Structure 1
Amino acid sequence: MGGEDEKKKKMKLLCLHGFRTSGSFLQKQLSKWDLSIFHHFDLDFPNGKYPAGGKSDIEGIFPPPYFEWFQFDKDFTEYTNLEECISYLCEYITSNGPFDGLLGFSQACQLLFLSIYIRGCVKRGATLAALLLGYQKQGVVLKEHPPMKLFVSISGSKFRDPKICEVAYKDPISVKSAHFVGAKDWLKVPSEELATAFDNPLIINHLQGHTVPRLGKETR
Structure 2
Amino acid sequence: MAPLRVLCVHGYRQNSGSFREKTGALRKLLKKQAELVYLSAPHSVKHTCTEETPDKENGPGPGPGGDEDPRGWWFSDIQARSFSAQQHCEESLGLIESVTAVREAVKVQGPFDGIMGFSQGAAFVAMLCSLQEQKLEPDFSFRFAIVVAGFRSACTEHQKFYDAPLQIPSLHVFGLEDRVIPDNMSRELLPSFKDPQVLTHAGGHFVPAASAHRQTYQDFLKRFQ
TM-score tier by shorter-chain length is: 0.7 to 0.9
CA contact (8 A) 2:145 2:171 kept: yes
Q: Report the secondary structure of 2:101's partner residue.
A: helix
The aligned residue for residue 19 of structure 1 is: 12
The correspondence for 1:103, drawn from 116, 121, 131, is 116
The aligned residue for residue 107 of structure 2 is: 94
Q: Report the secondary structure of 2:200's partner residue.
A: strand
Aligned residues: 193
Amino acid at match of 1:62: P
The aligned residue for residue 132 of structure 1 is: 128
Deviations 1:168-217 (A, max 9, x none): 22221111111112111132112111122111111001111111224243
Q: Report the secondary structure of 1:71's partner residue.
A: coil
Q: Does 1:44 align with 2:37?
A: yes
By how many angstroms is 1:34 displaced?
A: 6.9
Q: Report the secondary structure of 1:156's partner residue.
A: coil
TM-score (norm. length: structure 2) = 0.77
CA contact (8 A) 1:154 1:179 kept: yes
Q: Hey, what's the Cα distance between the residues in 1 that align with 2:26 and 2:109?
A: 25
By how many angstroms is 1:103 displaced?
A: 0.5
CA contact (8 A) 2:29 2:209 kept: no
Range with bigger deviation, 181-190 or 9-18 = 181-190
Mapping 1:29-108, distance limit 5 Å: 29-33=22-26, 35-55=28-48, 57=53, 61-63=61-63, 64-73=68-77, 74=84, 75-77=87-89, 78-108=91-121
CA contact (8 A) 1:204 1:219 kept: no
Q: Hey, what's the Cα distance between the residues in 1 that align with 2:25 and 2:207?
A: 8
By how many angstroms is 1:219 displaced?
A: 4.8
By how many angstroms is 1:162 displaced?
A: 3.7
Q: Report the secondary structure of 1:196's partner residue.
A: helix
Q: Hey, what's the Cα distance between the residues in 2 that align with 1:49 and 1:33?
A: 25
Of all paired residues, the percent bearing the same amino acid is 22
Please, which runs of 5 or more residues in structure 2 have no aligned partner? 78-83, 216-225
Change in 2 beyond 3 A, CA 1:218/1:209 = closer
Amino acid at match of 1:161: C
Amino acid at match of 2:190: A
Q: Does 1:184 align with 2:188?
A: no
Q: Hey, what's the Cα distance between the residues in 1 that align with 2:200 and 2:139?
A: 35
Q: Hey, what's the Cα distance between the residues in 2 that align with 1:84 and 1:217?
A: 38
Q: Hey, what's the Cα distance between the residues in 2 that align with 1:50 and 1:85?
A: 8
Q: Hey, what's the Cα distance between the residues in 1 that align with 2:196 and 2:44?
A: 33
Q: Does 1:160 align with 2:154?
A: yes
Change in 2 beyond 3 A, CA 1:95/1:189 = same
Q: Hey, what's the Cα distance between the residues in 2 that align with 1:33 and 1:96?
A: 21
Range with bigger deviation, 19-28 or 50-59 = 50-59
Q: Does 1:193 align with 2:188?
A: yes
Q: Report the secondary structure of 1:151's partner residue.
A: strand
Q: Report the secondary structure of 1:79's partner residue.
A: coil
Q: Hey, what's the Cα distance between the residues in 2 that align with 1:60 and 1:44?
A: 21
By how many angstroms is 1:12 displaced?
A: 0.9
TM-score (norm. length: structure 1) = 0.79
Amino acid at match of 1:148: F
By how many angstroms is 1:76 displaced?
A: 4.5
CA contact (8 A) 2:41 2:101 kept: no
